[in-house]
Amino acid sequence: MTEQQVAHLVVDALRKSGIDQLFCLPGVQNDDFFNALVDAPDIRPIVTRHEQGAAYLAMGAAQVTGTPAACCVVPGPGMLNASGALTSAYWGYARVLTIVGQIATAVQGRHLGALHDLPDQTAILDQLTKHTAVIHDPTTAAATIQEAVDRVHSGLPRPVSVEVPVDVWSAHAPGSIEAPTITTPPLNSDEIERAAALLANAERPLFVLGSGAYGASESIIALAERVQAAVTTRRMGHGVVPTSHPLFVPITSAHELWPDVDVVVGIGSRVEWPLGTWGFDENLTLIQINVDADELDRHGITAVGIHGDADIACQALLASVGSGARPSRVAELDALRTSFHEQTAHLSPQRTYTAAIRDVLPAEGVIVEDVTQIGFAAHLFYDHLQPRTFLSSGAAGTLGAATAVAIGASAATDRPVVGLTGDGGFLFTATELATAVQHNIACNILLFNNQSYGNVKRIQRERFGEDRTIASTLRNPDMKLLADAFGVRYWHADSPETLRPALGASIDHDGPCLVEVSVDAMPNPWPFLRMPPNRGVSQ
> How far apart are alpha carbons 98 and 58 in whole angstroms?
9
Topology adopted by domain 6-165: Rossmann fold (3.40.50)
CB 401 within 8 A of CB 83: no
> How far apart are alpha carbons 480 and 273 in whole angstroms?
40
Q: Which amino acid is at 254?
A: A
CB 295 within 8 A of CB 287: no
CATH class, range 347-522: alpha beta
CATH class, range 189-338: alpha beta
Q: What is the pLDDT along the chain (539 residues), one digit of tens a residue?
A: 468 999 999 999 999 999 999 999 999 999 999 999 999 999 999 999 999 999 999 999 999 999 999 999 999 999 999 999 999 999 999 999 999 999 999 999 889 899 999 999 999 999 999 999 999 999 999 999 999 999 999 999 999 999 999 999 999 999 999 999 999 999 999 999 999 999 999 999 999 999 999 999 999 999 999 999 999 998 899 999 999 999 999 999 999 999 999 999 999 999 998 998 999 999 999 999 999 999 999 999 999 999 999 999 999 999 999 888 899 999 999 999 999 999 999 999 999 999 999 999 999 999 999 999 999 999 999 999 999 999 999 999 999 999 999 999 999 999 999 999 999 999 999 999 999 999 999 999 999 999 999 999 999 999 999 999 999 999 999 999 999 999 999 999 999 999 999 999 999 999 999 999 999 999 999 999 999 999 986 65
Residues whose CB is less than 8 angstroms from the CB of residue 45 and which lie 6 or more positions away in sequence, other chains included: 21, 22, 24, 34, 37
Per DSSP, the three-state class of 337 is helix
On the CB side of 317, how many CA atoms lie within 13 Å of its CA? 34
Type and span of the H or E element at 310? helix 310-320
408-434: string of b/e by CB count within 10 Å (b at 16+)?
bbbbbbebbbbbbbbbbbbbbbbbbbb
Residues whose CB is less than 8 angstroms from the CB of residue 466 and which lie 6 or more positions away in sequence, other chains included: none
- 347-522 matches 6-165 in CATH topology: yes
Q: Give the start-to-end residue ranges of the domains of the chain.
A: 6-165, 189-338, 347-522
